[in-house]
Amino acid sequence: MNDAEKTNRHFSVAEARRSVYELLSGFYLDLPDREMVRCVFDPDFEKKLCAVASAFETGEMQEGLGLIAGFISSFKGGLPEETLRRIAVDRTRLFRGISEKNSPPPPYESVYREERLWGESSINVYRFYCKVGLALPDTWTEAADFLGTELDFMRLLGQNEAEAWRDNQSDRAMELLRASLDFLRDHLLKWVDPFCERMYRMAELDFYKGLAKLTIGFLKYDSHFVEEQLKEMPSP
C-alpha cells in the first residue's frame, strides 16, 4: 500500500468513527421531537445501524443495535405522538436524575467521579478541550463534562482528523488521533461504564437500553482500535 492509499484509508477510518460519535452524541444532546421520531423510523436509519453493525462488530454493540432495531419494529405502527411522549419521558428520567429510586445519577463526569456537579472533573475536561486547540461549537448548551458534550468532542476530533488527512497534514492528524485516545482513557472510560450499566437497567424502552449498550461498547472498541492504529504509525 503506497502513501496515498494509506492516507485515504486513514481518512475513511476517521470519517467512520466521526459518524458513530455524531450518531451517539445526538441522542444525548438533542431533545426528542417529531423530526427525531421520523428519523428513527426512516428506513435510512435502519440502514445506518446496519452499516455500524458491519463496521464495528463487538458483543455489546451488537446487543445494543439489536435492542434498538427491536424497538423500531415494535413501535413502527404506533402513533408518532405517543412514541415521542414515551421517548421523551424515558429520556428525562434517565438523563436528569429526577428520582433516586428510578433514575441513574445524571450523566456528568464530575457526578460519577466526584459525586457532585461542577467538580474538578468539569474543569479538567474543559482544559482538555482548550488544549487541543479546536473551535468549540456554539450549539453546546450542556456542561463540558455532560456525556453528550464529551461524545460530541470526540466527533469534533474525528472530523478535524479526517480533514487533516484530506489536506495531507499527517502530523496534525496523528496529534488529533492521540488526543482521541487520551480523552477516552482519561475521561470517558473513567466513568461512562457505570452510567450505562444503570441506564440499561433502569430504561423502560429498548431504545435507551440499546443506546446504553451501543455507547459503552463503542467506546471500549474505539479505545482499543485507536491504540492499535497509533502503533502502526511512525513515531513523531
Answer yes or no: is 152 within a domain.
yes
pLDDT of 53 = 62
pLDDT at 176: 96
**Cell for 225?**
482500535
Q: What mean pLDDT comes out for the span 22-46?
A: 88
pLDDT value of residue 42: 84
Average of pLDDT values for 64-79? Answer: 87
Q: How many domains does the chain have?
A: 1
Amino acid at 202: M
DSSP structure string for the chain: --HHHHHHHHHHHHHHHHHHHHHHHHHHHSPP-HHHHHHHTSHHHHHHHHHHHHHS--HHHHHHHHHHHHHHHHHTTS-HHHHHHHHHHHHHHHHS---TTTSPPPSBHHHHHHSSTT-HHHHHHHHHHHHHTPPPPTT--S-TTBHHHHHHHHHHHHHHHHHHHHTT-HHHHHHHHHHHHHHIIIIIHHHHHHHHHHHHHH-SSHHHHHHHHHHHHHHHHHHHHHHHHHHTSPP-
Counting residues of the chain whose pLDDT is more than 90, the rounded percentage is: 62
Question: Does position 236 have pLDDT exceeding 60, yes or no?
Answer: no
- Residue 202 binned pLDDT confidence (cut-offs 50, 70, 90): very high
pLDDT at position 194, please? 97
- Whole-number pLDDT of residue 226: 94
Whole-structure pTM value: 0.93
Q: What pLDDT shows up at residue 120?
A: 92
Is 108 a domain residue?
yes
pLDDT at 55 over 70: no
Q: Report, as an integer, the average pLDDT of 149-172.
A: 95
Residue 52's pLDDT is: 67
Look at 29-33, 74-78, 115-119 and tell me which has the smallest mean pLDDT. Answer: 74-78
CATH of the domain at 220: 1.10.3480.10
What pLDDT does residue 97 have?
85
Is the residue at 107 inside a domain? yes
Contact 181, 226 (CB under 8 A): yes
Asked if residue 206 lies in contact with residue 229, where contact means CB atoms within 8 angstroms, the answer is: no
Domain membership of residue 33 (yes or no) is yes
Model confidence at 1, in pLDDT bands (50, 70, 90)? Answer: low
- Asked whether residue 236 is domain-assigned, the answer is no
Question: Using an 8 Å Cβ cutoff, are 218 and 65 in contact?
Answer: no
Band of pLDDT at residue 57, cut at 50, 70 and 90: low
Domain that holds residue 192: 3-231
Is 30 contained in some domain?
yes
Q: Domain for residue 148, yes or no?
A: yes
pLDDT at residue 26 tops 80: yes
Res. 185: pLDDT tops 70: yes
